[in-house]
Chain A
Amino acid sequence: MIAESLALSAVLFTIGTIGVLTRRNAIVIFMCVELMLNAVNLSFVALSRQYGVTGQVFVVFVMTVAAAEAAVGLAIIISIFRHRQTVNLQNINLLKG
């Protein structure tokens, strides 16, 4: 079932990507990124059947990173919202040099 899993992973990843590209709400984009991470996790898990359990270990790491990312990212979003009263990325260009 590896091939199917990988195909599913690709589809989910692409959906996540499209979400990142089309959505403007920072939180939703964040969730799209989580979806993409999950898609990758799926490939890891699927391939671990063939290449050993290391893939699953990686998934655990990815989840940890995702958790950390969510914590910090959401904190950033909250502080941005405090300043700007919006989380719409179209209105946020603090990174502009």
Chain B
Amino acid sequence: MLLQTAAVASTGHSLQGSVAEWIWLVPVLPLIGFLINGWLSLRAVGHVGPADPSGEEHGHGHTDDAHHDAHDDGHQATRHPSASIVSVVGPTVLILAFLLAVAIFAALAAAQPDAPFVKQLFTWMVAGDFRVDAAFQVDQLSMVMVLVITGVGALIHVFSVGYMRDDPGYPRYFAYLNLFVFFMLVLVLGASYPVLFVGWEGVGLCSYLLIGFWFTDKVNADAGKKAFVVNRIGDFGFLIAMFLLFANLGTLDFSGVNAAAPALGAGSALVTVICLLLFLGCAGKSAQIPLYVWLPDAMAGPTPVSALIHAATMVTAGVYLVARSAALFSMAPAASLTVALVGGLTALFAATIGLKQWDIKKVLAYSTVSQLGYMFVGVGVGAYAAGIFHLVTHAFFKALLFLGSGSVIYAMHQAYHHTGSHEDAQDMRNMGGLKQFMPVTFVLMWIATLAIAGIPPFAGFFSKDEILGAVFARTHGSTLADAQWFGIPGSAVLYAVWVFGLAAALLTAIYMTRMMLYTFHGPNRSGEREREHLHEAPWIMTGPLVALGVLSAVGGWLNLPAFFPAGPIQALHHWLEPVSGDAALQVTHGAEAHMTATTEYTLVGIAVAIAVAGIAIAFARLKPAALVPKAEAPEAEGFERVLEHKYYVDEIYDRIVVRPIESGSRGILWRGLDAGIIDGLFVNGSAYLARGFGWLGARLQTGRTGTYAWVLVIGVIAVLSAFSLR
């Protein structure tokens, strides 16, 4: 019956008959791209044939190597035969999808409906009381996400045309990338938790495939597998949350759940558990403590993949899910506090690791983890619009940073390739002074760095400030502040989260400046001969960078703070009100959270001061000139070493989770229980018992007549005795 409410909601919807009816085409376009590219990749490989005379492995010293496979194929960096078709199909489907999305967005903006428009395609599963449709939901939140995904996605596709140009797996790459976009769109457009879950797992799959894109390196394949399995741990929570929802509410549609959610009881243990389980899923997908470990390893994939999947879109799915489930989270203050606290801790924790990484992509990876933590702080404290706002701006500047680093790596790799050097093209100690070789990238990267550091007027400043302000505002007069979190008052937790946020902001400014200093400033350390080959990437790569640079610079205008003197104030906030407005209000006891102007200005001042201080500290303390190339670098000492090894978390997980499971399964369960006790003792044991009796019997059969005669006579005597002695 809850389904009917959804159906009613969409019949007679203001968007009915509009372009929004074509929403299904948005994900289907990339799917078509996937099918074409996938077919091309399989067909073409068939032509190549299995016999490859010089396909030995070369010991490359780096993990991200755009032309790795080209090396494998005997340094024949020939383009894939279908590359030209793929170069057209891959990005075009995305651009078409983006244009369609813009049209639908415009229709949505014109209609401004309060209820989501649900486009039902067909019935997916129906069993007993359970029924779920393959249906897409067009509302303010999903369309924001669709625009980000298709927009940023299209830019990254274009960038990839240049970046992956000579890769022999070129069609396969675009097939995966298209498939990813398809699933990501299903994720954000799905009108129910199961459909969302389709996208949720689907993007995980594509992430797995793309991380392990250069699969002949075990490291890459390992990283892909790790990503998938760790995500599955989170999905376990998501699944159980769905089961709980269905068992208690009888539906899994968003509209149905939102309508019925009050039945769970605000603040009840049930809704808290549901939210915590959902958050477990988010922690997996969005790389939060304790499941963040896969994301840094995921940098093994091609850099545009890191930009698209592991920075801009997929990893933010968790944030999206929390915002989508705002009705539930707003009823569970304890769970929301957990989200915020975990987010804050992750932001700080990852930032500290980011301080000592040498791999340029690893720095960005930890930065992503840290920024995702920020987003969770936002959605955790009930500032859902702020979380989504940071998601959007982060998509811009992080995609820019990754693509920029991709451009740097591309240049470095090209240089090393020319000289035949096997140095690490991603290690910052091998870079330095690149600003003179690639000025465009240099400028754009600085814009992104200032954005992420929170320097006004760049995008990151507004979104980050919005989140920190929200945390501060919730410390009083909100359900969160009133709630208890394991006996600790909610307000105390919120203050702690705020402090974490500030500290993370400081560290963010430091490590980002450090990255810029080591990469672009100071003397060049890549070597004499390589230096001659360093040059800016082609236009097809810098073009998307410029677009993202513009967005990073002005993205903040999407949601200008209330105190801002000019422009559309809080546009995104108002835009998202039909989706998460009620939930946000519930957190703040129905009052629009407004602080006094003085407090606001003070907070902004603190944030900016911290960001500037961070940059200043980095400039003052770090001396790029003193850095030596990776090959000559000494081992780090003390706490720096701990940071460089990421607090040894991977090693700890390996020791206490992975290895015990493996050795326990092998030693105890398989060899011990299965082969030993069940099969050995019971099954074969009974067989051996029978054989033993048979052996004894066989011993009696000596084959000597004499013996038989003796036994016979003794038997006769025994029988006769039985008669006579009766």
**Contact partner, B698, options A24, A90, A94, A97, Cβ 8 Å:** A97
Range class of the A interface residue count: 10 to 19
The reply to whether B705 and A96 form a contact with Cβ atoms under 8 Å apart is no
Chain B: minimal CB distance from A97 (Å): 5
CA–CA, A97 and B702, complex, Å: 8
5 smallest CB-CB distances across A and B, nearest first, come from A96-B703, A93-B703, A95-B703, A89-B705, A97-B701
Which stretch from B409-417, B537-545, B706-714 is at the chain A interface? B706-714
* B709 partner residues in chain A, CB cutoff 8 A: 20-21, 29
* A86 interfacial contact with B, CB 8 Å: no
Chain B: minimal CB distance from A38 (Å): 18
* A17 interfacial contact with B, CB 8 Å: yes
CA–CA, A33 and B578, complex, Å: 111
Chain B: minimal CB distance from A20 (Å): 5
* A95 partner residues in chain B, CB cutoff 8 A: 701, 703-705
Chain B: minimal CB distance from A22 (Å): 9
**Residues A90 and B706 in contact in the complex (CB < 8 Å), given A95-B701, A96-B701, A97-B701:** yes
The reply to whether A94 and B713 form a contact with Cβ atoms under 8 Å apart is no
Range class of the B interface residue count: 10 to 19
The reply to whether B706 and A21 form a contact with Cβ atoms under 8 Å apart is yes
The reply to whether B701 and A92 form a contact with Cβ atoms under 8 Å apart is no
CA–CA, A93 and B701, complex, Å: 10
Max chain A Cβ within 10 angstroms of own Cβ: one of B701, B703, B705, B710: B705
Q: Is the interface of B mostly helix, strand, loop or mixed?
A: helix
Q: Show the binding face of A for B, using Cβ within 8 Å.
A: 17, 20-21, 24, 26, 29, 89-90, 92-97
CA–CA, A96 and B698, complex, Å: 8
The reply to whether B704 and A21 form a contact with Cβ atoms under 8 Å apart is no
* A21 partner residues in chain B, CB cutoff 8 A: 706, 709-710, 713
Max chain A Cβ within 10 angstroms of own Cβ: one of B701, B704, B710: B704
The reply to whether A29 and B701 form a contact with Cβ atoms under 8 Å apart is no
Which residue of B is nearest A33, CB measured?
Answer: B709
The reply to whether A94 and B706 form a contact with Cβ atoms under 8 Å apart is no
Contact with A along B664-704 (1 / 0, CB 8 A): 00000000000000000000000000000000001001111
**5 A–B pairs (Cβ distance < 8 Å), ordered by A:** A89-B705, A93-B703, A93-B704, A95-B705, A97-B698
The reply to whether B705 and A17 form a contact with Cβ atoms under 8 Å apart is no
* A24 partner residues in chain B, CB cutoff 8 A: 706
Which residue of A is nearest B700, CB measured?
Answer: A97
CA–CA, A94 and B698, complex, Å: 14
Which residue of A is nearest B713, CB measured?
Answer: A17
The reply to whether B710 and A93 form a contact with Cβ atoms under 8 Å apart is no
Max chain B Cβ within 10 angstroms of own Cβ: one of A29, A90, A93: A93
* B706 partner residues in chain A, CB cutoff 8 A: 21, 24, 89-90
CA–CA, A96 and B703, complex, Å: 4
Chain B: minimal CB distance from A2 (Å): 19
The reply to whether A96 and B702 form a contact with Cβ atoms under 8 Å apart is yes
